[in-house]
């Protein structure tokens, strides 16, 4: 009965590889987000999708490409991984894009680049 | 540019104490402010959301206040318990620029049994 689930939980890979992180929510929400939490625990939004449409795209390198096949899924694909990409990536969802509803977070994907 | 700061960065208290966590933001033009809790290795859990027109919100032993004009919010935890140990984050949504949450750096709370 997990609300927001991300896979994998841990991802260790070498520099230069391409990897994907999957996110699914079963809350019936129509807005989903990707956040990056760095080693200093600072959390910053990367992308936001509402009804499969991109509504927020922060200054993230274009090596990062989100894909939303439907409202319940928002996957994150990363090309040519770099050392600085090491972080914990959180997926979240909420009802509506007004940000007046609480956001529900997944448990995070810890990405380590060797 | 909105900046959110939380003080203290870390706090240890004995069980049963009442405590206050502080959050300050530089731009008072906000839609709302939200307090989250993050447990180690876990995502964030929303605790309280205060709209810009509200002064406070309460949930159980938690009370969050908002003073928009001074750019401050406090999270009051009554009768703290070891299970309250976690990192507490506040986040604000501004009315200018991109409509998104700006997070503070968090306060790491440890409640000692």
Query: Which one of A45, A58, A103 has the shortest CB-CB distance to B46?
Result: A103
Q: Does A58 sit within 8 Å of B98, measured CB to CB?
A: yes
- pLDDT of B98: 63
- pLDDT of A52: 83
Residue of A50 and B88 predicted with greater confidence: B88
- pLDDT of B97: 61
- Tell me A79's DSSP state: -
Residues of chain A with pLDDT under 50: none
Q: List, for residues B3-12, the tens digit of each pLDDT value.
A: 999 999 999 9
Alpha-carbon distance B75 to A7, whole Å?
A: 33
- pLDDT of A36: 94
Residues of chain B with Cβ-Cβ distance to A42 below 8 Å are 103, 105
Q: Does A100 sit within 8 Å of B51, measured CB to CB?
A: yes
Asked if A87 and A34 count as a contact pair (C-beta separation under 8 A), the reply is no
- pLDDT of A51: 85
Lowest pLDDT segment from A74-88, B39-53, B73-87, B91-105? B91-105
> What is the average pLDDT across B7-22?
95
Query: Which one of A41, A103, A105 has the shortest CB-CB distance to B87?
Result: A41
Which pLDDT band holds residue B103 (cuts at 50, 70, 90)? very high
DSSP-assigned states of every residue in chain B? ---EEEE-SEEEEETT--EEEEEEES---EEEEEEEEE-TTS-EEEEEEEETT-SEEEETTEEEEEETTTTEEEEEE-S--GGG-EEEEEEEEESSSSS-EEE---EEEEEE-
Asked if B106 and B38 count as a contact pair (C-beta separation under 8 A), the reply is yes
Q: Does B89 sit within 8 Å of A56, measured CB to CB?
A: no
Is the pLDDT reported for residue B95 higher than 80?
no
- pLDDT of A50: 87
Residue of B86 and A48 predicted with greater confidence: B86
Q: Does A100 sit within 8 Å of B49, measured CB to CB?
A: yes
Q: List, for residues B57-74, the tens digit of each pLDDT value.
A: 999 999 999 999 999 999
* Percent of chain B residues topping a pLDDT of 70: 96
Nearest C-alpha in A relative to B104: A42
| CB atoms near residue A36 (< 10 Å) | 19
Is the pLDDT reported for residue B99 higher than 80?
no
Residues of chain B with Cβ-Cβ distance to A38 below 8 Å are none
Best of B36, B59, B91, B101 to mutate (most A CBs within 10 Å, chain A): B101
DSSP-assigned states of every residue in A39-57? TT--EEEEEEEETTEEEEE
Average pLDDT in chain B: 92
Rg of the Cα trace of chain B? 14
- Measure in Å the smallest separation between the Cα of A71 and chain B Cα atoms: 19
45-64 of A, contacting B, C-beta below 8 A: 45, 48, 56, 58
Residues of chain B with Cβ-Cβ distance to A97 below 8 Å are 99
Query: Which one of A41, A45, A103 has the shortest CB-CB distance to B105?
Result: A41
């Amino acid at each position: 009965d997990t609300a927001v689930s991300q896979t994998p939980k841990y991802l260790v890979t070498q520099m230069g590889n391409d990897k994907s992180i999957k996110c699914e929510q079963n809350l019936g929400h129509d807005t989903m987000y990707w956040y990056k939490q760095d080693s200093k625990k600072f959390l910053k939004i990367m992308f936001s999708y509402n009804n499969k449409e991109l509504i927020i795209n922060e200054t993230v390198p274009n090596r990062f490409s989100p894909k939303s096949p439907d409202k319940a899924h928002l996957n994150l694909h990363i090309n040519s991984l770099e050392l600085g990409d090491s972080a914990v990536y959180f997926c979240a969802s909420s009802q509506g894009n007004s940000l007046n509803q609480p956001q529900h977070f997944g448990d995070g994907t810890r990405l380590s680049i060797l | 540019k909105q900046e959110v700061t939380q003080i203290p960065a870390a706090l240890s208290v004995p069980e049963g104490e009442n405590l206050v966590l502080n959050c300050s933001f530089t731009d008072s033009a906000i839609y709302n402010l939200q307090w989250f809790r993050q447990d180690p290795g876990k995502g964030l859990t929303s605790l309280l959301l205060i709209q810009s027109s509200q002064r406070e919100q309460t949930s159980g032993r938690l009370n969050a206040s908002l003073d928009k004009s001074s750019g401050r919010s406090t999270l009051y935890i009554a009768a703290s318990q070891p299970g309250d140990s976690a990192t507490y984050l506040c986040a604000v949504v501004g009315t200018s620029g991109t409509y998104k949450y700006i997070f503070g750096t968090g306060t790491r709370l440890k409640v000692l049994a």
